[in-house]
Structure 1
Amino acid sequence: MELQQMRYVIAVAETNSFTRAAERCLVVQSALSHQIARLERELGARLFERTSRRVRLTPAGAAFLPAARQCLDAAERAAAEVAAAVGEVRGRLAVGLIPTVAAVDIPGALRDFRRRYPQVRVGLRVGASDDLVEQVKEGALDVAFLGLPTTARLTGVAARELARDRLVAVVAPDHPLAGGPSVSLGRLATEDFVDLPAGTAGRIQTDQAFAAAGLTREVAFEVTTADFMDRLVGQGLGIAMFPSASVHRLTGVAAVEVTDAPARVEYVIWSPVGRTPAAAAFLDLLDLPGPGGSAAHAARAALGTR
């Protein structure tokens, strides 16, 4: 069994096509198909169901895929650790964040990181806090920045608190509350809301605040992005609640302080089993080093600091 065969299997699984997988891997399709067939013979099971119209994983292929990804990740990390031991930072850096993260300037940090470490492949995913936690646990992300209610407890990941913030109400510019000094949750409960889907971390903190005050509210519009929440609020379709530190990014809306507003905590998280040299270097660049270790030491050595 060879690492290249695993790369081919992953490419076919992700593209659902032998042709597109071959294009991604920069090989001719016949070579890719031959290597996968050879692997299937070695394993004694077919990994893909092939028809003239589609390609999909068999149960055996679905079982093989996570382990193949782990093997490739381990091989890549081993190479990165060797490079870090001689003062180089290579490999990949996969970063996740929520749209409203405010404690860290992620775009600026990624720009500086790419300039300093051009040999690192950098990727970015934007999503909900709950999803980002799972992706860090699975190894799909190296580092993630998220916001959670003060009552939330992180498990299965290493975490560091970055900042605490309070939510503010966001309303259309011509809304009766616009321009007011402050407002209470009781008054907000009479309005229609634009919010994230029920059960998400960003939604829970607001739901808990209203429930603790003995209030109910009507969420008329559930959306998955802060940008679309902003647009709906700007059209007067409802009001929303955002972290105060991120309100300056919104356009066409007005912010109002909430006297009994809920709070949230921003965290940076990474795998509890250790950080890659690239992740260690990224956190070090942000002046957010975690616990010591070979990766952190190598990153600091490469940076020539501390």
Structure 2
Amino acid sequence: MELRTLEYFVAVAEERSFTRAAARCHVVQPAISQQIQALEKELGEPLFERRPRQVVLTSGGAALLPHARACLAAAASAVREFADRSGLLSGSFALGTVGGLEGTIVPRLLGEYHRRYPRVAVKLLGASSPSLLAKVRAGEIDAAVVAGPPDGEPAGVASRVLLEDRIVAVLPAGSRPADRPMTLDEAVRNPVISYSPESGVHAYIREAFAEQALRLDIAYATNDVALQVALVAEGIGVALTSHASPVLTADPRFVVVPLEPAIRLRKVFVWRVGTRQSAPLRAYLDLWTELSHRPGA
């Protein structure tokens, strides 16, 4: 039983005509008829009932049809897989991103992805974590990097941890030793500069203060970390922000101190499950695994 014969069989079954099946498969009708007759002989029973104006499946043909389709689908999948491996990957890859990814593996990943798969059109979408997570679940984008929800990712979404992070307090320079932690109670005695409620990071901060029975009022809400620390440098208040942000590298205008208790969070790469992964998404995940195992990654 050959794939080409199964292709002819499926074509006849779907077209209900040897003539139309031959046109669909770009062969002459006798070639299809001969292949079907050989298949019927091999299986030991007729597959079609030949009527004056059309052909219909027999019970044997109906039993064979799902198996034939599965075989053809598996063969097509293998062809796509090896086309991808040979560098012929094409299509599109829509990736959602939150802020603060400059110091992660993401830029390096996208750079190597571009060099290997120049025929894939990569589209970046910047938005808040809850918005991006909803778009992944709805299938509107292929994947996203988000602040993982404190209670875990929702059903229908798979994830891979990109970064383990924590929230720190940023104060004007000289106002506090860098090795002296700030309690959450101390933090709320100042005007607080931090993320807006639409940010996934905001949920971690809000939950931490709630656990301490503290009311959190954010006086200046912005997801732009550079703006947060610029406001600190102006003496406006205390910023509660991501420690992983490159903006927090040594700067004489402010000091970064740990919080007590610590507020930990994760940035995760998420994608939809329950449907077949697109080839560009599989390539991205495989490349991430490869780069993560290289020395210095």
Q: Cα–Cα, structure 1 residues 172 and 81, in superposed 2: closer, same or farther, change >3 Å?
A: farther
* Deviation, structure 1 residue 133: 0.5
TM-score relative to the length of structure 1: 0.61
1:42 corresponds to:
none
Any idea what the Cα deviations from partners look like across 1:254-274, whole Å, max 9, x if unmatched?
211112021112211112123
Q: Counterparts in 2 of 1:86-235, with a 5 A limit?
A: 86-87=83-84, 88-101=88-101, 104-174=104-174, 176-177=175-176, 179-198=178-197, 200-235=199-234
Instruction: Say which SS state the counterpart of residue 141 (structure 1) adopts.
Output: coil
Of 95-104 and 120-129, more deviation after overlay is shown by: 95-104
2: CA distance, partners of 1:106 / 1:80: 28
The alignment-based identity, stated in percent, is 24
* Deviation, structure 1 residue 288: 7.6
2: CA distance, partners of 1:283 / 1:127: 21
Query: Which of 1 and 2 has greater Rg?
Result: 2
2: CA distance, partners of 1:229 / 1:140: 31
* Deviation, structure 1 residue 199: 5.1
2:53 corresponds to:
none
1: CA distance, partners of 2:278 / 2:135: 15
The letter for the 1-side match of 2:266 is V
Q: Cα–Cα, structure 1 residues 127 and 173, in superposed 2: closer, same or farther, change >3 Å?
A: farther
* Deviation, structure 1 residue 205: 0.8
Do the aligned residues in 1 keep the contact of 2:83 with 2:89 (CA within 8 Å)? Answer: no
1:279 corresponds to:
281
TM-score relative to the length of structure 2: 0.62
Alignment length, in residue pairs?
210
Any idea what the Cα deviations from partners look like across 1:96-152, whole Å, max 9, x if unmatched?
121124784212211111011111111212221101101212333212111135334
2: CA distance, partners of 1:81 / 1:95: 26
* Deviation, structure 1 residue 239: 1.8
The letter for the 1-side match of 2:183 is S
Q: Cα–Cα, structure 1 residues 288 and 97, in superposed 2: closer, same or farther, change >3 Å?
A: farther
Do the aligned residues in 2 keep the contact of 1:81 with 1:277 (CA within 8 Å)? Answer: no
Q: Cα–Cα, structure 1 residues 200 and 80, in superposed 2: closer, same or farther, change >3 Å?
A: farther
The letter for the 2-side match of 1:86 is A
2: CA distance, partners of 1:212 / 1:154: 23
**Aligned structure 1 segments of 4 or more residues deviating by more than 6 angstroms:** 79-82
The letter for the 2-side match of 1:94 is A
Any idea what the Cα deviations from partners look like across 1:8-33, whole Å, max 9, x if unmatched?
xxxxxxxxxxxxxxxxxxxxxxxxxx
2: CA distance, partners of 1:170 / 1:107: 26
Instruction: Say which SS state the counterpart of residue 166 (structure 2) adopts.
Output: strand
Do the aligned residues in 2 keep the contact of 1:95 with 1:124 (CA within 8 Å)? Answer: yes
* Deviation, structure 1 residue 92: 0.9
Give the gaps of 5 or more residues in structure 2.
1-75, 292-297
* Deviation, structure 1 residue 172: 2.8
Do the aligned residues in 2 keep the contact of 1:93 with 1:279 (CA within 8 Å)? Answer: yes
Q: Cα–Cα, structure 1 residues 238 and 80, in superposed 2: closer, same or farther, change >3 Å?
A: farther
* Deviation, structure 1 residue 189: 1.6
The letter for the 2-side match of 1:173 is A
2:70 corresponds to:
none
1:27 corresponds to:
none
* Deviation, structure 1 residue 81: 9.2
1: CA distance, partners of 2:211 / 2:205: 10
Instruction: Say which SS state the counterpart of residue 287 (structure 1) adopts.
Output: helix
Give the gaps of 5 or more residues in structure 1.
1-78, 290-306
Do the aligned residues in 2 keep the contact of 1:247 with 1:255 (CA within 8 Å)? Answer: no
1: CA distance, partners of 2:195 / 2:246: 16
1: CA distance, partners of 2:283 / 2:146: 19
* Deviation, structure 1 residue 178: 5.5
The letter for the 1-side match of 2:281 is A
* Deviation, structure 1 residue 222: 1.6
2: CA distance, partners of 1:178 / 1:218: 25
RMSD: 2.8
2: CA distance, partners of 1:80 / 1:254: 55
Do the aligned residues in 2 keep the contact of 1:192 with 1:217 (CA within 8 Å)? Answer: no
Any idea what the Cα deviations from partners look like across 1:162-189, whole Å, max 9, x if unmatched?
4432211122325x23534321111112
Do the aligned residues in 1 keep the contact of 2:168 with 2:259 (CA within 8 Å)? Answer: yes
Instruction: Say which SS state the counterpart of residue 94 (structure 1) adopts.
Output: strand
Instruction: Say which SS state the counterpart of residue 209 (structure 1) adopts.
Output: helix
Instruction: Say which SS state the counterpart of residue 165 (structure 1) adopts.
Output: strand
Q: Cα–Cα, structure 1 residues 93 and 230, in superposed 2: closer, same or farther, change >3 Å?
A: farther
